[in-house]
């Protein structure tokens, strides 16, 4: 059912979409005074193109009703932020393995692993 | 004949499965906690329905790494009968014991109702002696039960007669209305190539007493008991 558009758009403005740029490791201080590196890794999981995404279709229709008839397609996936201790050296292969085995199901989903390769110093 | 009913944190049909199996002559079911690592002494394995690990990440995605799953995989490889109902089916797919995956229902609704399914093969250990085309009334209760597989896998499943049950209407036809969760080709249950691992979204465990609306589920468990008895008498 089409909804009233008035008063809705203002609320949308200024809402930031999460920045997906890879993060560099940061140094954090622990209680002991020891400084350890921490690194954030981001994983984006999306349904494969061949898989019908009824959630995405429902959101697409809602967006069309709310004043964006030009919305052609919406696909809903998952976004994970993973914090690692250390600078991520040597973790990449294991992270890919866990992306395939646990974080995504390769039958129905694709994944993208975002980590800063330069961080491995 | 000993049946292991695996209990994961969040399983909620373990008691249904135990109760159903207790009503089957020859079946002697016991619970096995998911932290166990051995299934020695059991003749068959049941993965019950529910919401293991709260369905976090994906249904069955975390349960497949429970310690007991190593033993389930080894026993399946050794030819033991394994049946996964609802969440159990999802776990079997996640574990790679069955092909394909179960995704959100086409309607997005959690649907809880009686479904009519049609037996597609009578030569599986789970449908032994049930003539092809027999209609089984089995309840379904799931939000993520739409069977999906890529085209090659689907072709393979059909070619090797691995589709055991399909959703049909009261006349036994695979219509799109009868396929209320949107599964590929009305698929409700499949087995592996070796035919000893069976996953299905409908609940035979909730259809073992006429007072609950159907006792058609007993046919599946009785078929398992008969198959195991045959195997054991051949081995003896």
Partners of residue A105 in chain B, C-beta under 8 Å: 58, 61, 94, 101
The answer to whether B14 and B48 have CB atoms below 8 angstroms apart is: yes
Burial class (CB within 10 angstroms; exposed 0-12, middle 13-18, buried 19+) of B233: exposed
Closest A-chain CA to B59: A105
A45 or B212, greater pLDDT: A45
Answer yes or no: is pLDDT of A120 > 50. no
Per-residue CA distances from B142 to A104, B136, B225 (Å)? 21, 18, 27
Mutate to test the interface with A, among B69, B110, B148, B156 (most CBs of A within 10 A): B148
Other beta carbons within 10 Å of B206: 24
- Average pLDDT on A55-83 reads 96
Of residues B151, B176, B59, the one with CA closest to residue A51: B151
> Tokens 């992306």 label which residue?
A99
Residue pLDDT, tens place only, B90-101: 999 999 999 999
Partners of residue A103 in chain B, C-beta under 8 Å: 57
Identify the CATH assignment for B2-235 out of 3.40.50.300, 3.40.50.880, 3.40.50.12780, 1.20.1250.20.
3.40.50.880
- Average pLDDT on A53-67 reads 96
Q: Which domains does chain A have, with CATH numbers?
A: 40-119 (3.30.1280.10)
- Where exactly are the structural domains of chain B? 2-235
The answer to whether B227 and B197 have CB atoms below 8 angstroms apart is: no
Q: What is the DSSP letter of A116?
A: -
Q: In the structure, what pLDDT confidence band is assigned to residue A115 with cuts at 50, 70 and 90?
A: confident
The answer to whether B6 and B32 have CB atoms below 8 angstroms apart is: yes
Answer yes or no: is pLDDT of B41 > 90. yes
A49 shares contact with chain B (CB less than 8 Å): no
Residues within 8 A of A (CB atoms), B 32-91 only: 57-58, 61-62, 65
Residue pLDDT, tens place only, B135-166: 999 999 999 999 999 999 999 999 999 999 99
Residues within 8 A of B (CB atoms), A 14-43 only: none
Residue pLDDT, tens place only, A14-33: 333 344 444 556 666 666 66
Per-residue CA distances from B188 to A68, A77, B82, B150 (Å)? 38, 25, 16, 16
Contacts 24+ apart (CB under 8 A), B111-115: B111/B140, B111/B141, B111/B142, B111/B143, B111/B180, B111/B181, B112/B139, B112/B140, B112/B141, B113/B139, B113/B140, B113/B141, B113/B180, B114/B138, B114/B139, B114/B140, B114/B213, B114/B214, B115/B139, B115/B140, B115/B167, B115/B180, B115/B188, B115/B202
């Amino acid at each position: 059912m089409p909804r009233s558009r008035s008063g809705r758009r203002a609320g949308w403005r200024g809402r930031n979409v999460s920045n997906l740029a890879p993060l560099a490791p940061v140094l954090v201080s622990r209680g002991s005074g020891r400084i350890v590196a921490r690194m954030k890794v981001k994983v984006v999981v999306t349904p494969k193109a061949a898989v019908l995404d009824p959630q995405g279709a429902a959101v697409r229709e809602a967006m069309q009703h709310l004043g964006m008839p030009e919305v052609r397609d919406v696909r809903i996936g998952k976004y994970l932020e993973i914090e690692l201790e250390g600078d991520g050296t040597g973790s990449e292969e294991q992270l890919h393995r866990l992306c395939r085995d646990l974080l995504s199901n390769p039958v129905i989903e694709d994944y993208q692993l975002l980590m800063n390769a330069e961080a491995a110093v | 004949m000993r049946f292991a009913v695996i209990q994961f944190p969040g399983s909620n049909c373990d008691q249904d499965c135990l109760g159903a199996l207790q009503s089957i002559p020859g079946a002697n079911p016991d619970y096995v906690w998911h932290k166990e690592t051995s299934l020695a002494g059991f003749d068959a394995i049941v993965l019950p329905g529910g919401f293991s690990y709260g369905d976090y990440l994906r249904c069955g995605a975390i349960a497949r790494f429970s310690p007991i799953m190593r033993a389930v995989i080894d026993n399946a490889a050794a030819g033991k009968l394994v049946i996964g109902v609802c969440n159990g089916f999802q776990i079997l797919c996640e574990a790679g014991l069955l092909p394909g995956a179960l995704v959100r229902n086409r309607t997005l609704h959690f649907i809880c109702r009686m479904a009519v399914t049609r037996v597609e093969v009578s030569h599986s250990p789970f449908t032994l002696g049930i003539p092809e085309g027999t209609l089984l009334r089995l309840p379904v209760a799931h939000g993520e039960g739409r069977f999906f597989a890529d085209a090659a896998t689907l072709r393979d499943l059909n070619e090797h007669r691995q589709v055991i049950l399909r959703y049909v209407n009261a006349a036994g036809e695979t219509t799109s209305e009868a396929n209320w969760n949107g599964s590929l080709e009305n698929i409700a249950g499949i087995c592996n190539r070796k035919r000893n691992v069976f996953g299905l979204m409908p609940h035979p465990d909730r259809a073992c007493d006429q007072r609950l609306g159907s006792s058609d589920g007993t046919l599946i468990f009785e078929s398992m008991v008969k198959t195991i008895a045959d195997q054991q008498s051949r081995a003896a």
